[in-house]
Amino acid sequence: MLSKGCRLAVCLLILHGPLPLRADEPFQRLGDWQPVFRGIDLLRLEARQPRLMHGYVLRIDLQAPGIRFLATPDNGDKPGHTDGLKTSTFLSRFGCQAAINAAPFSPIHAEEGLPQTISGLTISQGKEVSPPDPKFPALLIRKGLRVQIAAPPFDLTEVETAVAGFQIVLKNGQIITEGRDVHPRTAAGISSDGRYLFLLVIDGRQPGYSLGATTREIGEWLKALGASDGINLDGGGTTTLVLADPDGKPRIVNRPIHAGIPGRERVSASHLGVFADPLPKQP
């Protein structure tokens, strides 16, 4: 049985069909950008070369009214930095309209609600949840939704939200990684004018559906989508993109692969949530 996210993708493909492959893009767009919330559009992507890859990307207009962000808050006086949640649970608990997994973490737990430790900087609602680590860059969101991808040491002036990642893959339009390991991937990118934030997931470890991507390919995909800077976040079995249905219930868009089981979510210490207004009602 197809997941809800896969059924949505099939419907979009039937309605719009695959668009012609562009010479300057490493993927095929399966349909057009689909508005899902005010200021947030969804696009499904596919590649057949150099291997089978399926992905989804959110394009977030940082100038749209109602757009806000939330990183996973801390867990108070408990051990670790946060209590682990599935991305769908995070979305429901905090009332977000979209959410992805974000920073690397340890250990992996099968159950939600257990303490976990984040690797690298996390800031939630202006409060530091986990400290910077010199090995990990971060996505920084300042007041006024000024977004930056940066390596440490960070200028944290007016930073309200931050999540760490493994490495910067795209800088000033240039791909700066040659990583060749193939895994499911979660990534973020920023357009050169600072208006758009792209949140990208590429599924993997699923023969016949999607095998995964290298970090270089993440940079190529983000650049083709319109990003100038990009960061590789935590991936593997943690890669998850969730949207809220009209009734607020979470809908997993991609196909996670925790513990080698397609469709199973992993409990994560770190998420990035997006708040957005509903689309205007059609007359």
Query: What does the alpha-carbon distance between residue 251 and residue 216 come to, in Å, rounded to a whole number?
Result: 29
Query: What does the alpha-carbon distance between residue 133 and residue 167 come to, in Å, rounded to a whole number?
Result: 12
- What was the pLDDT predicted at 4? 47
Beta bridge partners of 273: 70, 99
- Give the type of residue at 136: F
Residue with tokens 């210490």: 269
For the stretch 26-35, contacts whose Cβ atoms lie closer than 8 Å and that sit 24 or more positions apart, written own/partner, are 26/217, 26/220, 26/221, 26/224, 27/53, 27/55, 27/221, 27/224, 33/59, 35/279
pTM reported for the whole predicted model:
0.92
DSSP class of residue 164 equals: E
Mean pLDDT of 163-186: 96
Does residue 283 carry a pLDDT above 80? no
Q: In the structure, what pLDDT confidence band is assigned to residue 205 with cuts at 50, 70 and 90?
A: very high
Q: pLDDT over 90 for what percent of the chain?
A: 89
Cα 258 to Cα 99, 160, 164, 245, distances in angstroms: 17, 30, 21, 23
Does residue 40 carry a pLDDT above 70? yes
- What was the pLDDT predicted at 9? 45
pLDDT digits (tens, 9 = 90+) for 95-141: 999 999 999 999 999 999 999 999 999 999 999 999 999 999 999 99
Query: What does the alpha-carbon distance between residue 27 and residue 203 come to, in Å, rounded to a whole number?
Result: 14
Does residue 14 carry a pLDDT above 90? no
Does residue 17 carry a pLDDT above 60? no
- What was the pLDDT predicted at 268? 98
CB 227 within 8 A of CB 219: no
Query: What does the alpha-carbon distance between residue 92 and residue 203 come to, in Å, rounded to a whole number?
Result: 23
Query: What does the alpha-carbon distance between residue 89 and residue 81 come to, in Å, rounded to a whole number?
Result: 18
- What was the pLDDT predicted at 13? 42
Beta bridge partners of 268: 85
Q: In the structure, what pLDDT confidence band is assigned to residue 2 with cuts at 50, 70 and 90?
A: very low
**Domains of the chain by residue range:** 4-275
- What was the pLDDT predicted at 3? 47
- What was the pLDDT predicted at 281? 86
Query: What does the alpha-carbon distance between residue 31 and residue 139 come to, in Å, rounded to a whole number?
Result: 29
- Whether omega before 134 lies within 30 degrees of 0, making that bond cis, reads no
Mean pLDDT of 59-73: 98
Does residue 200 carry a pLDDT above 60? yes
- What was the pLDDT predicted at 23? 57
Q: In the structure, what pLDDT confidence band is assigned to residue 12 with cuts at 50, 70 and 90?
A: very low
Q: Residue 96, CB half-sphere, CA atoms under 13 Å: how many?
A: 25
Phi, psi of 256 (to 5 degrees): -60, 165
Q: pLDDT over 70 for what percent of the chain?
A: 92
Nearest to 59 by CA among 180, 227, 266: 227
- What was the pLDDT predicted at 22? 62
pLDDT digits (tens, 9 = 90+) for 232-241: 999 999 999 9
Beta strands in 30-135 (DSSP E): 34-37, 40-47, 53-61, 68-71, 82-83, 98-101, 105-106, 115-118, 122-124, 127-130
